[in-house]
Amino acid sequence: MSCCAPGAEAGAGPVAGTALSADEIRLASRPLGDGLMQTDLSVPTVHCGACIHTIEKALGRLDGVESARVNLSSKRVAIKWRDGKVPPFAATLEAAGYASHLYSPGENGRDAVLAELIRAVAVAGFAAGNIMLLSVSVWSGADGATRDLFHWISALIALPALAYAGRVFFRSAWSALRHGRMNMDVPIAIGVSLAYALSFYETLNHGQHAYFDAAVTLLFFLLIGRTLDHVMRERARSAVAGLAKLTPAGAMIRDDDGSHRYLPLAEIAPGMSIIVAVGERVPVDGVITEGATEFDRALVTGESVPQRATPGAQVQAGVLNMGRPVTVQATAAAKDSFLAEMVRMMEAAEGGRARYRRIADRASSLYAPVVHLAAFLTFLWWMFATGDWHRAITIAIAVLIITCPCALGLAVPIVQVVAARRLFEHGVMVRDGSGLERLADIDHAVFDKTGTLTTGVPVLRNAGDIPAQGLSIAAALAAQSRHPYSRAVAAVADVETFSQNLKGVLEVTGNGVEAEHDGTVWRLGRAAWACGEDVARGTVLSRDGQLVARFEFAEQVRPGAEDAVAWLHNQGVESELVSGDRDEPVDSIADRLAIWRRFANMQPGDKTKRLVELAQEGRRVLMVGDGLNDAPALAAAHVSMAPATAADVGRNAADFVFLRDSLSAISEAVATARRAADLIRQNFALAIAYNILAVPIAIFGYVTPLVAAVAMSLSSLLVIANAMRLVMNEASLGGPADKRHAREFQQAKVA
């Protein structure tokens, strides 16, 4: 079995094979910033490592193209190009032998590849069974005219069966040869054709032995292997498929005149008013303009408890309305929505060009010429040694079939896809598949403070020291402001008790909130404003200028922060904190999390400089941060992570984005990356060992073509099954929820 996927989809898609105009491409592209655009094209006939190399090389030569990356599983190529004249993408791909059309996330709803493979397996299996029955008669002693008759019947059954079931391989091989290329289906097509041709020659010459049963059974086993390969790959990519299914096909739009109309998802534009009924998912990112409801936001936050949303609240594409109908004003097109961004990050997980991936791709690209040369030399050697051309060509066929770079080609991408799925299930999005390899190597972690180790939301820490009445009045005042400190006060007391009786509520920008209650003026805010210049700094509540209560705030540490830092320490990864904040809050958080190396008052340039210093010391640094000021440091790190709440530039600079509040995402990601690295090395060892053992055995004539087909299929399936252990064996991974590491967390805390 090869790592290639069949070319069944040739011509798939609504506009496959039609010329794409520059305007169509520009409209379908999305800006990446800094003058870069990205265009996603579907390339249905991409098959293997050789195809990937051909496509990326052809597109990479075009003027203005920065990079082209092929995703083998989704049969999609992502092209980054400089805004200006649109390069001739479709024409270039057509010249290389690949039809293309604009990629649509919903176009793969029905798995046409699997349907064709199953039909091919059924036809090959039926034909193989019938030919085998005829062969039994020959093996039992049928001779002369009877034997020839059975051979002719077998030939008549085998020919249409090979033509129909074998087109999966023949179509791909012919397309490659027609455009002057080689791919992994060429030797398979040659091997199956030679097996039939050899048997047909024997039948014409009344030979005693014909191998129609072997030829069809060979194809049968190859198709079984390829079908299992396809199913297992799709299973590995089920997270991407699941995300795509969360996208509605369209939505009900309310126009300015009050009329309603249904629009397909692709036609929804920013500014449109969308009616989201109960039980429907939000189609694009937006802001609630009318109505209040509860949304299941587990996709975004990982929290299963529905969250209330009122007018002014932002909602992301894919969240489920569980309360009442609401009106949402779209703020982004479907291709720029939160859900689309998550799908793109999942797709990118397989496209990384890490060190192991480059080695595997290089080996796969060399496969076709090497295997044909090996088979030809084997034929010449056996002809010279025995003079038996029949035996020589049979052994050459076995060499063609058994030589398999497929396991090597699958060694890296299948693990990356499975690892990305595993991390997605734990709320971590992989933006670059190569980041997994780099994350596995880290020996040092650098954390930002505000918004990373802390939630960025202050909490009131002395609520118990404030009289109940004062706290209630303060909460009523705080409810009139959106300042973070006001929210912290409002969250710990009864807001309704006094809020209805407040009069003349006024928020003074930069100072606080004041209001009148029963003829008394209350102020909540800066001490100097609320009470006068003679009062110390801080946030206070005053009554007619007299101090009533003083409020003390603290930063709220992210859930899982202590466990994550302790786990890293236990894994030999030293942590440090770099922050632009003052010494006191930095020391407070660092002491709480047992981070002994800390740096305060750090400017963005200082953070980047610190990472460069660590790199010069030979450290492989994981940077975890958010916000605009962390973007240069995230880009400079060996590998980086950012929360989903980070600024856009921060998320774009990071290799990983975690969606949930808990920092358990860090230990999950590191443990998964290290486990994935182990599995990749195991897969390389399995693939190399298979070829080292199998090829000499075939060359020396100890393997028939049929046995070679079985061995080839098993080698690839073994690599895929080994990769699937990443999700099958939950206990092998780390993280705060992992029972195996619970003791390690406690030991690290004690240490």
Q: What is the pLDDT of residues 72-128, one digit of tens each?
A: 666 778 888 887 788 888 888 888 878 888 876 555 445 677 888 888 889 988 888
- For residues 574 and 594, give the distance between their C-alpha atoms in angstroms, rounded to a whole number: 11
| 509 CB neighbour count, 10 Å cutoff | 6
Q: Closest by alpha carbon to 74, among 46, 99, 97?
A: 46
From the centroid of its chain, how far is CA 367? 28
Give yes or no for a contact between 292 and 326, defined as CB atoms under 8 angstroms apart.
yes
Q: What is the pLDDT of residues 679-713, one digit of tens each?
A: 888 888 888 888 888 889 888 888 876 677 677 76
Q: Which residue has the tokens 């290290």?
A: 674
Query: Please, which contacts does 141-150 make with residues 24 or more away whose CB atoms are closer than 8 Å?
Result: 147/208, 148/203, 148/206
Tell me the mean pLDDT in the region 723-738: 56
pLDDT of residue 10: 35
Which residue of the set 229, 448, 630, 661 is catalytic? Answer: 448
Q: Is 448 one of the annotated active-site residues of the chain?
A: yes
From the centroid of its chain, how far is CA 386? 54
pLDDT of residue 367: 64
Segment among 141-145, 589-593, 637-641 with least mean pLDDT: 141-145
Q: Closest by alpha carbon to 215, among 244, 190, 245?
A: 190
pLDDT of residue 420: 79
Q: 667 or 195: which carries more pLDDT confidence?
A: 667
Please, what are the domains in the chain? 7-102 (3.30.70.100), 112-239+351-411 (no CATH), 245-342 (2.70.150.10), 415-456+557-668 (3.40.50.1000), 462-551 (3.40.1110.10)
Packing angle, helices 338-348 and 238-245, rounded to 10: 160
Q: Is 168 left (phi over 0), alpha (psi -120 to 50) or beta?
A: alpha
Tell me the mean pLDDT in the region 476-489: 81
pLDDT of residue 299: 60
Whole-model pTM above 0.75? no
The band of 567, judged by pLDDT with boundaries at 50, 70 and 90, is very high
